């Protein structure tokens, strides 16, 4: 009976430690205006996502920062201004990091998004010479001035990490919805999603930085798929100037994905992140302990996502500690539950993960907004 009481205490404590982190995401379902700042390596899917976000009456967008990822940080700035011109909108843009924190930059994004990030649909005459270049300061200023700010990160987390390092007080507690990571598989390597592969050290900094991280993973964003023929055609026919810009870019983007064989539908990953940021009820958030591989080998950028006790314990304790625990497990009077709990409390959950989204609703609303 005594062991049973201990077990109940253990379970209750674990729920408190690991369950409360789920509350912030679940609570954001009101219709009040939402304030956003977007950090992006804008390629084709980013452009579609941002075009949708600009059409949402509830979304107040304060500004944008650019980061190297799908394309260079400067191409990203021109792509943003190209998109704004088509949409007849204006927002502040700050050019951000041109390379990851520590590892060599990947340039493989050009294979998916073309050398300019928009499959030659960027306006190359746009002058970006006058744009500011201190992205961490821009992010921190927006956070300090707007207590309810949500930062949406659509590319590698380099700018966010630099802001956390340089302005820890301003960034602490800020909601960050980031596209990246995977529980199962990858799209850059067999185990790594592209944004985290591009700068794994940045995720490591952010995880330790005290932000309210909500990670929209490949498991979720790969579900948001559109018809590779019909969607670009509808954009071209009914999407106005923005549709005329996005349709040929999407055709190039989809053509690459069909290189290995014809596909009827393909994912637009960044759309999942902006939808979830504005409407978290479109996703299913779970509290998690996340670790990331930062070594530059085939495992670079792999995210290890612990969702239950069986996942978390070996992420925190090494084999030597667990072997010692196993040696004691059958000794009279040894409290295994208490020992496991002592391990778990050393590293509380550090993020929310979104592994599933309501893809049909998202795709339907995306098409409705961009093809009126």
What pLDDT is recorded for position 20? Answer: 42
- Catalogue the E-assigned strands of 271-350: 283-292, 303-306
Q: What is the pLDDT of residues 4-51, one digit of tens each?
A: 444 434 444 454 444 444 434 444 445 678 999 999 999 999 999 999
- The residue whose two tokens read 């700018």 is 159
How far, in Å, CA of 372 to CA of 191, rounded? 39
Q: What is the pLDDT of residues 299-346, one digit of tens each?
A: 999 999 999 999 999 999 999 999 999 999 999 999 999 999 999 999
Q: How confident is the model at residue 212 (pLDDT cuts 50, 70, 90)?
A: very high
**Among the ranges given (9-23, 104-118, 206-220, 268-282), the one the predictor scored with the smallest mean pLDDT:** 9-23
Q: Under CATH, what is the fold of the domain 31-315+349-370? A: Inosine-uridine Nucleoside N-ribohydrolase; Chain A (3.90.245)
Q: What is the pLDDT of residues 284-299, one digit of tens each?
A: 999 999 999 999 999 9
Residue 219 pLDDT > 70, yes or no? yes
**CA separation, residue 310 to residues 289, 316, 337 (Å):** 12, 11, 13
What pLDDT is recorded for position 253? Answer: 97
Mean pLDDT to the nearest integer, 158-166: 98
What pLDDT is recorded for position 259? Answer: 85
How far, in Å, CA of 100 to CA of 105, rounded? 6
Q: What is the pLDDT of residues 81-105, one digit of tens each?
A: 999 999 999 999 999 999 999 999 9
Global pTM? 0.92
Arithmetic mean of pLDDT over the chain? 92
Q: What is the pLDDT of residues 39-82, one digit of tens each?
A: 999 999 999 999 999 999 999 999 999 999 999 999 999 999 99
Annotated domain spans of the chain? 31-315+349-370
Is residue 281 within 8 Å of residue 274, measured between CB atoms?
no
What pLDDT is recorded for position 33? Answer: 85
What pLDDT is recorded for position 261? Answer: 84
Residue in 205, 349, 366 with CA at minimum distance from that of residue 270:
366
Q: Which two tokens stand for residue 216?
A: 């929209």
Per-residue b or e along 195-204, where b marks 16 or more CB atoms closer than 10 Å to that residue's CB: bbbbbbbbbb
Residue in 36, 59, 86, 56 with CA at minimum distance from that of residue 249:
86
Decide: helix, strand or coil at residue 35: strand
What pLDDT is recorded for position 31? Answer: 64
What pLDDT is recorded for position 372? Answer: 80
Q: What are phi and psi of 371, to 5 degrees?
A: -130, 45
What pLDDT is recorded for position 23? Answer: 39
What pLDDT is recorded for position 327? Answer: 94
Q: How large a percentage of the chain has pLDDT more than 70?
A: 92
Q: Which two tokens stand for residue 327?
A: 């040696």
Is residue 77 within 8 Å of residue 176, measured between CB atoms?
no
**CA separation, residue 93 to residues 62, 63, 76, 214 (Å):** 10, 6, 10, 24
DSSP 150-203: EEEE-S-SHHHHHHHHH-HHHHTT-EEEEE---SS--SSSSSB-HHHHH-HHHH
């Amino acid at each position: 009976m005594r062991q049973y009481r201990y077990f109940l205490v253990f379970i209750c404590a674990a729920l408190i430690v690991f369950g409360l982190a789920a509350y912030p995401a679940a609570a954001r379902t009101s219709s009040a205006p939402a304030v956003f700042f977007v950090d992006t390596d804008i390629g084709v899917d980013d452009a579609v996502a941002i075009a949708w976000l600009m059409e949402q009456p509830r979304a107040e967008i304060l500004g944008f920062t650019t980061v190297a990822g799908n394309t260079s940080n400067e191409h990203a700035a021109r792509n943003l201004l190209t998109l704004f011109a088509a949409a007849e909108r204006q927002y502040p843009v700050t050019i951000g990091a041109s390379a990851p924190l520590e590892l060599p930059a990947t340039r493989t994004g050009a294979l998916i998004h073309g050398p300019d990030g928009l499959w030659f649909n960027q306006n190359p005459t746009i002058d970006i010479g006058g744009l500011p270049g201190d992205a961490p300061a821009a992010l921190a200023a927006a956070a300090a001035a707007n207590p309810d700010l949500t930062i949406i990160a659509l590319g590698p987390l380099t700018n966010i990490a630099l802001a956390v390092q340089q302005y820890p007080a301003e960034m602490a507690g800020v909601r960050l919805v980031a596209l990246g990571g995977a529980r199962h598989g990858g799209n850059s390597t067999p185990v790594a999603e592209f944004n985290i592969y591009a700068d794994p050290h940045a995720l490591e900094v952010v995880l330790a930085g005290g932000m309210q991280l909500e990670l929209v993973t490949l498991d979720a964003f790969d579900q948001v798929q559109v018809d590779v023929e019909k969607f670009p055609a509808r954009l071209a026919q009914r999407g106005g100037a923005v549709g005329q810009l996005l349709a040929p870019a999407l055709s190039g983007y989809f053509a690459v994905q069909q290189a290995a064989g014809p596909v009827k539908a393909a994912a637009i990953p960044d759309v999942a992140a902006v939808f979830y940021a504005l409407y978290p009820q479109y996703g299913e958030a779970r509290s998690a302990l996340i670790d990331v591989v930062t070594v530059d080998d085939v495992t670079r950028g792999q995210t290890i996502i612990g969702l239950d006790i069986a996942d978390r314990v070996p992420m925190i304790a090494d084999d030597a500690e667990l072997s010692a625990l196993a040696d004691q497990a059958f000794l009279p009077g040894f409290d295994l539950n208490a020992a496991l709990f002592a391990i778990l409390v050393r590293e509380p959950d550090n993020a929310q993960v979104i592994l599933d989204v309501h893809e049909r609703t998202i795709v339907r609303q995306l098409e409705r907004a961009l093809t009126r």
